[in-house]
Amino acid sequence: MMSRRDVLVAGGVAALACTSARARSAIEADVVVIGAGLSGLHAAAMLEAAGAKTIVIEGADRVGGRAHTLDDLPGHPDAGGIQVGSFYTRLITVAQRLGVALQPGGEFDRSALYVVRGQTVAQGDWPTSAANRLVGPERAIPPMALAPALGRRMGHLPDTAAWMTAAGQKLDIPYGTALKAAGASDEAIRLIAANLGSGDINAVSALNAARSAAIFQSAGPDASLRVITGGSQRLPEAMAAALRSDLRLGQLVTGISEGADQVRIDLASGRAIAARHVICTIPFAALRPLGLSGASAEAMKPVIAGLPYTHASFAYLSASAPFWNQDGLPRTIWSDDPLIGRVFVLGDDPAMLKVWLSGPDADAIDRLTPADAGAAIIARLETARPSAQGKLRLERMFSWQRDPLARGVFHHLGAGQWPLLTRAVTATGQRLHFAGDHLAQLASGLEGALESGERAAKTVIEKL
């Protein structure tokens, strides 16, 4: 007969075995890719081509991530992933292979109508305007051009990889401090901060601007921009359609646990998926609330917790007529007004505008109902540009930070974060690997997403 102690020991062993069985789920695939944006889909295609059994899971009910086209709005405007640079070699190659067309577009207007300190000023009148409180030679620089003009005085990076070297570390100081050291006036710094996307310009690293400039300059003097015909989401849709692997939408991840020989993914549905390797492309801002365990996650914990993401909210407005073609003023508006921010013409037929609000301005507009937000924005636009009166209607308010799968439109480097991000973009996981545009080494945006996904896929293929 078993003693009470024997019974307790036997029960404990059985419980431990059950717990171990739950923790070690049956492996369903060689690799699970979390996220069906460009990074995840590109990685999945490479893994599939290498013969790896691959499953792609996506929390949303669509593919694309932040390459998102609002197909229910007039003109099918993009909410993210808009510009395709002529140096986006990976993207151009993938698009050509899949038959996804690119067309000219995405260029910003060189001239703008300025609404500064409540005054509307044409660009030609800016140098002598009472709204212009810049100092000395700065007065000749339009507000939209201040950041690149003054940035050239801060120091530059010789190439796109230099940000990861000592040259980049030297530039990793508060952006406002760097501008001040370069001779910028307080008013210049205020205007640059107005549409920067961060509540505090000194919370952003000067390296962030220098890296963007180096990427732009790498394109050379003949650089041009294009857009994806039909909207940015057409590319990830084509990438997903070309996959033979299992693609599962609506799979919200709640936790990721890395073990010695597998990675387990817990889902909101209560199910779990296990694979030999996992590539996680969730933006860090959206990844933070999830339960992560294992050596690879532990190594990335500081950058996951600390990398900031820019908040951005958009108002999509339809117009009864393209008044911007009739009043003799520039099409684009640039403003320090928290209800206007930047205004872009999306097209003349249908006549559509996009109002882009960033940082604290985006957070403030998010606190209003869509109807109240649209009414406030339209009223302010009608005051700034009288030809708009009675012609605008709100079609949609859109907020990236309210999307739990994004929590921001894109990442930026916080002041003092050079050590964190340089370690992260060169890190190699054991069985859990991270990818996404936030971990690109040489590119940014759509191309950066592809670059990072490609690097993660190559790492996993070598380990399989």
Beta carbons of 57 and 251 less than 8 angstroms apart: yes
For residue 298, what are its two tokens?
């532990």
Candidates 428, 432, 427; CA nearest to 262 is 432
For residue 440, what are its two tokens?
């690109």
Distance CA 272, CA 274 (A): 7
Distance CA 293, CA 279 (A): 14
Candidates 185, 144, 135; CA nearest to 334 is 144
Beta carbons of 53 and 31 less than 8 angstroms apart: yes
DSSP string, 41-58: HHHHHHHHHTT--EEEE-
Beta carbons of 334 and 437 less than 8 angstroms apart: no
Q: In 218-323, where does DSSP find H-type helix? A: 234-242, 284-287, 295-306
Distance CA 108, CA 103 (A): 15
For residue 163, what are its two tokens?
């940000």
Distance CA 157, CA 171 (A): 9
> Is 39 labeled as ligand-binding?
yes
Candidates 70, 66, 62, 68; CA nearest to 352 is 70
> Is 253 labeled as ligand-binding?
yes
User: What are the phi and psi torsion angles at 395 (to 5°)?
Assistant: -100, -40
Residue 167 one-letter amino acid: A
Distance CA 166, CA 236 (A): 36
Distance CA 422, CA 17 (A): 41
User: What are the phi and psi torsion angles at 136 (to 5°)?
Assistant: 60, -135
Residue 268 one-letter amino acid: A
Candidates 205, 150, 158; CA nearest to 181 is 150
Binding residues for FAD: 39, 253
Binding residues: 39, 253
